[in-house]
Amino acid sequence: MRIRSAWRAALAAGAALVMLSACAGAGGSADTSGGGKTLEIWHAYAGQKDKVEFIEYALDTFKKAHPDIKVKEVSAEQSSYKTKLQTAMASGNAPDVFYTLPGGYLKAFVDSGQVLRLDDELAKQGWRDSFLESSLPSVTFGGSTYAVPIDIDAALVWYNKALFDAKGWQVPTTWPEFLDLAEKIKSAGVVPVALGNKDSWPATFWFQYAEMRLHGSGVMSGFGAGDKNATFGPEAKDAAGVLQTLAQKGYLPKGANGMSDAEANILFLNGKAAMVLNGTWQIGMSAEAPAGFELGYFPFPTFAAGKGNQSDVLAGVAASFAVSEKAKDKEAALAFLRHITSPEVMTKYVQIRKTMVARKGATTPEAAGPLLAGVVQDVIGKADTLDPFYDTAMAPKTTETYYSTLQGLIDGSIPPAAASEAIENAAKAGK
Amino acid sequence: MSTSTRSVAARRDARAALLFLAPAVLFLAVFVAYPLLTAGVLSFHSWDGVSPRQWTGLTNYERLLGDRIFWGSLRNNVLVALTAIVFQVGVGMVIAYWLVRVVPRIKRFAMFVYVVPVVISEICIGLLWGFVYNPYFGLLNGFLNAVGLDELARGWLGDRSTAMPAVLVVMNLTYLGLYILLFVAAFENVDEAVYDAAAIDGAGHYRTFFSVSVPMVWSNVQATTLLAVVSSFKTFSLVYVLTRGGPSNATDVVSTYLFQTGFGNFEAGYASTIGFAQILLTAAVGVFVLGLMRRGKRGEA
C-alpha cells in the first residue's frame, strides 16, 4: 500500500515535470493579454539591440491600435530562425504571421501551398503602389505576391575617407582606375579591400557586380522564373576573373576565406584596410569606429566594354512578412501586415536601423541620416535596375555550390572558366 | 514449495527490474530508436523539408558513393582520429605517467591547467583560437613577426594548405586534458609493489612506462582509444566555429557536411543518408580498432 502511494506520488511528480518542461519549451514566446482573437507572430528580430527596439515598437503600437487582438509573439535570432520556421512548415504548423527571407526561401513555402496570396488585399487602398516597384519581384511568384517587403539592402563600395584624404587617394569610377588605386594602397602597406569570406556571402557581391556590369542585370530572376534561355553568359568567366584577380594581386586580406565579416570590419575600421564592398548595413557596422574615422562610399566601378547597364545597383529585399494559408483570423493577420508596413512604423525602422525600407517615402533624410540619404539619392536613385542578391534568389543547393566555388576562386584552386561553368550548371539544375 | 516461492520472488524481482528499466527504455525508444528509424526511412527519400517527400530508392546512396565532398570530409575525420590516437591518447599517456611517477608534486596544479579547456565550451575555444589565428591581429602571426619569421606568417584558417592542420592543433590541444585526466586515474590505481619490483630489476622510466605502466592499464588504453576514435568521427563544433568547413570544403568533416546538407541545402533525405553512413562507419571503425587492440594485447602477453 505504501509502495503504491509512493509510486503514485512519483507519477504525479513526473507529470508535473512534464508540464514544467512544456512551459519551458514555450520560453521564447510571450503572451500578451487582450481580447478573444489570438494572433501568433513569428519574427527574427532578436539578439541585436536595434532589431529588438524596432519590433517592440511595431508590436506595442499594433496592440494599442487593435486592443481586441491577442498577440502571441515568438522570436528567434536570424540563423536559428531560418531552421525553426523551416521545421514548423515541414510539420504543417505554420504560425499565422511570419517573418521570412524573400526569394528561394519563401518560394519553397509558396510551392507547398502554405502561404496566403496577398493580391486582392494589396489592390485595396493602393497598398501595392505604396511599395517601391523594384522590391516586389522577390516576393512574387507565378504572378502572385505572397509577402510584403520590409527593408532593402544595397551593396556598394565603402571607403575610409580620412585615410583617403591623408594619402591623397582619389575615388575611382572605372575598373582600371580601381585596380590602379588598389595597387597604390597595397604599396602603402594597407590592405586595399577588406573581405572576410568565412561565411561565403561577402565574396558574392564581387562576382555579381562584375556580372551585372559585364553581362547585365536580371540573370538570376530568369533562372528563378524557369526561363530556359537564362544564362550567366560567356561574361561570367570574366566576372569570376575579377574576383580571382583581386586575390592573386594580393588586394584581399591574407586568409580571407578564414576570416569572418566582423574580423574584416575590424581591419577596415582601424585603417588597416581601405575599402570594403558591403551592404548598407556597413553604416551601422561603422558606428563603433575609432575617433577620426569617416565613412565614404562610391558606386561599384564601371567596365568600359561591359554589356550591362553601368549604373545598376546590387540591391534586394532583406526581409518580408507573410501570412499562413491556415491562419484562423486572416483579417487580424492582414491588419498586422498593414501596420508593420505603415509609413509611421517604417520611418521608425529607418530611424533605428539606418537601412532603407521598401515603403515609398519612408526613408526620409531626417530618419536616415546624411549617409544613407546620400546613398539613396546618389546611387540607388540613379540606378536603372536593382538586381536582387543572387544567393537569396537561388535554390538553397545552388547557393552552396555558388559559395564554395567563389571560395575556390579566391584561394586559386578553381580557375575562372571552371568556376563560371560550375555556377551556371548549378543554377540550371536548381531552376 | 520452495521452488515456487523462489519463482514468485524471481518474478517479483523481474517486475521490479522492468519498472526501473522502463523510464530508460522509454527514453531510448522515443529519443534514439524512433529518430534513428525515421532517419533510416528518410535516407531513401528526396525531401526538402517542406513539400511531400518522394521515394527515390537507392539514389541517395549512389550519390553518396560518388560524392567527392563526402569522401573528402570522411578523410578529414580519419585524420582527426589518427591525430587523436597519437596526440591525445599517446601524449596524454606519457604526460599522465610523468605527472604520477616523476613530478607528483605539481600533479594537482598541472592537471588543473590541462583540464581547463575540457570544461570550457567548445564554441568559446573555437572563437578564441579564431583570434589566435587571425592573420593581422592574431597571436600566432604576431609571435612569428616578433621573432623575425615573417615569411611563415599567413592566413592560417583561410589557406587551403594550413586550414586543416590548424583545426587539428586546436582539437588535440582541447581534448588532451581529458585523456591526461583518465590516465592519471588509471596509473594511480597500479599497485606500487609492481613499480618496486621493476625498480629492483633496474628498470628506468622508459622501461617502466612501456613494460609496466602501459600493460597494467591496457584495458584503459583500449577504452580511451575507442572513445577518441568515436568522438573523432562525430566531431562538429570546433570545425564549425573555426572554418564552417571551408575554404571550399577543405576542412569539412562528415558532421559539418551533414549539417550543411540538411539545414543549409534543405536536402533532408540526403542528409539522413550521410548520417546513416556516418553511424555505420563509426561502428565499423570502432569494432576494427577494438579488434586490433585485442590482438595487440595478445602480442604483448
pLDDT at B150 over 70: yes
Is A244 in CB contact (< 8 Å) with chain B?
Answer: no
Read off the pLDDT band of B296 (50, 70, 90).
low
pLDDT at A11: 45
A48-62, A271-285, B147-161, range with the lowest pLDDT: B147-161
Residue A419's pLDDT band, with cuts at 50, 70 and 90, is very high
CA distance A212 to A235: 10
State the Cα–Cα distance between residues A192 and A272, nearest whole angstrom.
Answer: 9
Distance between CA atoms of A55 and B162, rounded to whole angstroms? Answer: 43
Q: Which of A218-227, A367-376, B96-105 bottoms out in mean pLDDT, i.e. has the lowest? A: A218-227
Cβ–Cβ gap B51/A411 under 8 Å = no
Q: Smallest Cα–Cα separation from A243: which of A424, A410, A411?
A: A410
DSSP assignment of A287-340? TTPPTT--EEEEPPPB-TT-SS-TT-EEEEEEEEEEEBTT-S-HHHHHHHHHHH
> Which 3 state secondary structure label does DSSP give A141?
strand
Average confidence (pLDDT) over B29-56: 86
Q: Which residue of A has its CA nearest to B162?
A: A255
Place of cell 534561355: A229
- Assign A177 a pLDDT band (cuts: 50, 70, 90): very high
CA distance A104 to A393: 5
Quick one: pLDDT band at residue A197, thresholds 50, 70, 90?
very high
* Stronger pLDDT, A224 or A5, i.e. the higher one: A224
Q: Walk me through the domains of chain A, giving residue ranges and CATH numbers.
A: 26-151+317-367 (3.40.190.10), 154-315+375-430 (3.40.190.10)
For A226-281, how does the pLDDT look when each residue is reduced to its tens digit (9 = 90+)? 778 889 999 999 999 999 999 999 999 999 999 988 899 999 999 999 999 999 98
CB neighbours of A231 closer than 8 A, spacing ≥ 6? A219, A222, A424
Q: Is residue B300 scored above 70 in pLDDT?
A: no
A83, A253, A272 member nearest B155 (Cβ): A253
Q: Looking at the predicted structure, is the pLDDT value of residue B67 above 60? A: yes
Q: For chain B, give the DSSP string.
A: -HHHHHHHHHHHHHHHHHHHHHHHHHHHIIIIIHHHHHHHHHTTEE--SSSPPEE-TTHHHHHHHT-HHHHHHHHHHHHHHHHIIIIIIIHHHHHHHIIIII-GGGHHHHHHHHHHHHHS-HHHHHHHHHHHH-TTT-HHHHHHHHTT-GGG---TTTSHHHHHHHHHHHHHHHHHHHHHHHHHHHHHTS-HHHHHHHHHTT--HHHHIIIIIHHHTHHHHHHHHHHHHHHHHH--HHHHHHHTT-STTTT--HHHHHHIIIIIS--HHHHHHHHHHHHHHHHHHHHHHHHHHHHHHHHH-
More confident residue, A27 or B253: B253
Nearest by CB to B264, from A108, A197, A396: name it. Answer: A396
Chain A CB contacts of B270 below 8 Å: none
CA distance B178 to B114: 8
The reported pLDDT for the residue numbered A108 is 84
User: Poorest-confidence range of A16-20, A157-161, B223-227, B235-239?
Assistant: A16-20
Confidence band, pLDDT 50/70/90 cuts, at residue B273: very high
Q: Where exactly are the structural domains of chain B?
A: 2-37, 59-300
Contact A413 B160 (CB under 8 A): yes
Q: What is the pLDDT of residue A35?
A: 46
Closest CA to B164 of B240, B260, B252: B252
Please tell me the predicted confidence (pLDDT) of residue A226: 74
Q: Does A170 touch chain B (CB under 8 A)?
A: no
Write out B225-285 in H/E/C secondary structure: HHHHHHHHHHCCHHHHHHHCCCCCCCCCCHHHHHHHHHHHCCCHHHHHHHHHHHHHHHHHH
Query: Which one of B266, B267, B270, B272 makes the best mutation probe of the A interface by having the most chain A beta carbons within 10 Å?
Result: B266
Strands A147-160 and A273-279: antiparallel
For A164, the 3-state DSSP assignment is helix
Number of Cβ pairs closer than 8 Å across A and B?
111
Angle, in degrees to the nearest 10, between helices A235-248 and A396-411? 50
| A114 neighbourhood in chain B, CB within 8 Å | 50
Q: What is the pLDDT of residue B267?
A: 86
Residues of A in contact with B158 (CB under 8 A): 197-198, 254-259, 411
B87 in Cβ contact with B93 (< 8 Å): no
Question: What average pLDDT does this structure show over A141-164?
Answer: 93
> Amino acid identity of A160?
N
Nearest alpha carbon to residue A257 among B260, B126, B156: B156
* pLDDT(A1) > 60: no
Cα separation, B49 vs B54, whole angstroms = 11
Q: Which of B154, B249, B264 sits opposite A255 (nearest CB)?
A: B154
Cell triple for residue B150?
A: 615573417
Q: Model confidence at B202, in pLDDT bands (50, 70, 90)?
A: confident
CB contact under 8 A, A263 and B158: no
Residues A258, B51: C-beta atoms closer than 8 Å: no
Residue B248: which of A198, A199, A407 has the nearest Cβ? A407
Closest residue, chain A, to B264 (C-alpha): A396
Which residue of B135, B247, B267 is in closest CB contact with A411?
A: B247
- Tell me what the mean pLDDT of segment B233-247 comes to: 91
pLDDT at residue A18, rounded to an integer: 41
pLDDT band at B298 (very low <50, low <70, confident <90, very high): low
Q: Is A6 on the interface with B (CB under 8 A)?
A: no
How many percent of chain B have pLDDT more than 90? 46
- A124-152 per-position pLDDT tens digit: 999 999 998 888 888 998 889 999 999 99
* Residue B71 grid cell: 569522401
How crowded is residue A92: how many other Cβ atoms within 10 Å of its Cβ? 11
For an interface test with A, the pick among B42, B136, B141, B244 (most A C-beta atoms closer than 10 Å) comes out as B136
pLDDT of A15: 43
Q: What is the mean pLDDT of chain A?
A: 87
pLDDT at A31: 44
**Does the pLDDT value for residue B11 go beyond 50?**
yes
Residue B3: pLDDT band with limits 50, 70, 90: low
As a whole number, mean pLDDT of residues B105-127 equals 91
Residue in chain A closest to B19 (alpha carbons) equals A7
Check pLDDT > 60 for residue A7: no
Place of cell 539514389: B59
Of the candidates B52, B153, B246, which has its C-beta nearest A257's C-beta? Answer: B246
Structure-derived torsion over alpha carbons of residues A221, A225, A226, A231, reported in degrees to the nearest 10: -20
pLDDT digits (tens, 9 = 90+) for B166-197: 999 999 999 999 999 999 999 998 888 988 89
- Model confidence at B257: pLDDT above 50: yes
Of A82-96, A334-348, B224-238, least confident by mean pLDDT is A82-96
> Measured between alpha carbons, how far is A302 from A92 in angstroms, rounded to an integer?
48
Q: Is A269 exposed, middle or buried (0-12, 13-18, 19+ CB in 10 A)?
A: buried
Residue A344 scores a pLDDT above 60: yes
Contact A258 B160 (CB under 8 A): no
Closest CA to A38 of A63, A7, A18, A21: A63
The three-state DSSP-derived secondary structure of A64-88 is HHCCCEEEEEEECCHHHHHHHHHHH
Q: Do B247 and A410 touch (CB under 8 A)?
A: yes
Residue A23 falls in which region: left (phi positive, over 0), alpha (psi -120 to 50) or beta: alpha
CB A268 within 8 A of CB A194: yes
Can you give the pLDDT at residue A87?
83
State which amino acid sits at residue A138. Answer: S
Q: What would you report as the CA-atom Rg of chain B, rounded to the nearest whole angstrom?
A: 24
Nearest CA in chain A to B245: A198
- Cα separation, A69 vs A71, in Å, equals 6
Beta bridge partners of A278: A156
A100 vs A108, more confident: A100
E strand or H helix at A357, and its extent?
strand A356-357
Instruction: DSSP letter for A384, please.
Output: S
Cα Rg, chain A, nearest whole Å: 24
Q: Which residue would you say has higher pLDDT here, B57 or B254?
A: B254
CA–CA gap between residue A45 and residue A347 (Å, rounded): 17
- Which strand (E) or helix (H) includes residue A278? strand A273-279
- In this prediction, residue A190 has a pLDDT band, given cuts at 50, 70 and 90, of very high
Looking at A7-21, A58-72, B108-122, B261-275, which range is the least confident one?
A7-21
Cα(B106)–Cα(B225) distance, rounded to whole angstroms?
Answer: 26
Architecture in CATH for domain B59-300: Orthogonal Bundle (1.10)
- H or E segment and range at residue A275: strand A273-279
pLDDT mean over A274-300? 91
Q: What's the Cα-to-Cα distance from A324 to each of A105, A311, A342, A377, B45, rounded to whole Å? A: 15, 38, 20, 36, 27
Per-residue pLDDT tens over the stretch A317-329: 989 999 999 998 9
